[in-house]
Amino acid sequence: MPRLIEYRQAIREALDEELARDPMVVLMGEEVAQYNGAYKVTQGLWEKWGDKRVVDTPISEAGFIGMGVGASMLGIRPVMELMFWSFYTVAWDQIINNAGMVRYMSGGLINCPIVVRGPANGGTGVGATHSHTPENIMASFPGMKCVCPATARDAKGLMKAAIRDNDPVMFMENTLLYGEKGEVPDNSELPEGELFIPLGVAEVKREGTDLSLIAHGRAVLTCLKAAEILEEEHGISVEVVDLRTIRPLDEETIFESVRKTHKAICVDENKPFCGVSAQIASSIQLHCFDDLDAPVLRVSALDSPAFYSPPIEKLQLPYPDVIVAKALSIC
């Protein structure tokens, strides 16, 4: 029988296994230890690993993220939680200039093996300041890597790859997914003895022949729902490509899908201006121009700050009907 676990537990397992594997791995962040994590991702880890390996920090993002970056230069491997990725704004200089640029500016003498992780999503009625989706922003900096897992399985396997990576990895989770259960094999079932998913490898989450939906994070699940509707109600066979990692980006899997279906819609929860889907759309038109039977379309969050009022905010993020309508306009 398949093992179903929550997305948050999958991440917790990855953290736990990496704490066990490498004594240089340290978890730090606000409420990650004694409180067990604001979203319970780190539940039980402080009790198991103690003060040295799981560290509560004050509400001081610039300070503790910068501290982690500095420690990583000496070979420590901090996995730092932003309670909300939205708080990256107050640690911007430490993340971008220090973690992101120090390797280049030192001519390759230094590297920062850090992970910054936490939820990066809207849709929870917490207002605009807590609803940012900065994957496009982080991925726009050469030197950075950026991961947005949609499922529990991917979250676990990608977290392990992120922690072992020797470059700074921005790992973006989703509060709306933390409680979602998914199939995650137990290590004992795996030939390698662990679940490890390399960065930079997309996955076709659903195969189809008429249209490619290209998405990441929670938008993948929205696309899967839209694909079902399109199949059942309109007889359209939809392929869903999950990017999983934004940078490095598996373009080949995208192009392969588009070359098969000849139509593409890029879906993300970013705002439209310079969102991830803009980058993907640009790449598709450049590399698959002759394969396309329709313009590449995009579905993104509506172009305003996040609305607080819950029923209105729901309309701001891509939902299946919007994707279905876009699909029908070209299919």
Partner 1 sequence: MAAAAKTTPKHADAPINKALTRDDKIKLFRQISRIRRFEQISLKHYNAGKMGGFLHLYIGQESVAVGCVSLMGPNDHVITAYRDHGHALAVGMGMNECMAELFGKKTGCSKGKGGSMHYFAPDKNYWGGHGIVAGQTPLGLGLAYGLKYKGLKGAAMCFMGDGAVNQGAFHESLNLAALFDLPVIYIIENNGYSMGTSQARSSSYTGCLAQRAEGYGIAWEQLNGEDVYEVRARVQVAMERAHSESKPTVLEIATYRYYGHSVADANHKKYRTKEEIERYEREHDPILIWRDHMIKEGILTDAQATEIDQEAFKEAEAAAVFAEKSDWPDPSEIFDDVYWEVDNQTVASQSGRHFFND
Contacts with partner 1 by CB under 8 A lie at 26, 52, 57-58, 60, 62-76, 93-94, 97-98, 102-111, 113, 142-143, 145, 161, 164-167, 198-201, 245, 247-251, 279, 283, 286
Kindly tell me which of 66 and 122 has the beta carbon lying closer to partner 1.
Answer: 66
For the record, the structure tokens of 202 come out as 């997309």
The active-site residue, picked from 17, 18, 61, 81, is: 61
Residue type, 268: D
CB of 136: closest distance to partner 1 in angstroms? 12
Kindly tell me which of 75 and 235 has the beta carbon lying closer to partner 1.
Answer: 75
Kindly tell me which of 1 and 52 has the beta carbon lying closer to partner 1.
Answer: 52
Catalytic annotation present for 313 = no
* Beta carbons within 10 angstroms of residue 315's beta carbon: 11
- Burial of 59: CB neighbours in 10 Å, binned 0-12, 13-18, 19+: exposed
The active-site residue, picked from 6, 13, 130, 135, is: 130
Catalytic annotation present for 192 = no
DSSP output for 20-85: HH-TTEEEEETTSSTT--TTSTTTTHHHHH-TTTEEE--S-HHHHHHHHHHHHHTT-EEEEE-SSG
Kindly tell me which of 8 and 247 has the beta carbon lying closer to partner 1.
Answer: 247
CB 240 within 8 A of CB 224: yes
CB of 201: closest distance to partner 1 in angstroms? 5
CB 271 within 8 A of CB 301: yes
Looking up tokens 């390996």 gives 53
CB of 131: closest distance to partner 1 in angstroms? 24
C-alpha angle 59/245/61, rounded to 5°?
Answer: 10
CB of 274: closest distance to partner 1 in angstroms? 13
CB of 161: closest distance to partner 1 in angstroms? 7
For the record, the structure tokens of 300 come out as 């993104």
CB 160 within 8 A of CB 14: yes
In terms of Cα–Cα distance, which of 161, 122, 124 is closest to 244? 161
Residue type, 42: T
CB of 92: closest distance to partner 1 in angstroms? 10
* Beta carbons within 10 angstroms of residue 2's beta carbon: 9
Residue type, 229: I
Residue type, 34: Q
Kindly tell me which of 62 and 330 has the beta carbon lying closer to partner 1.
Answer: 62
Kindly tell me which of 95 and 152 has the beta carbon lying closer to partner 1.
Answer: 95
Looking up tokens 């950026």 gives 146
Q: Which residues are catalytic?
A: 61, 130
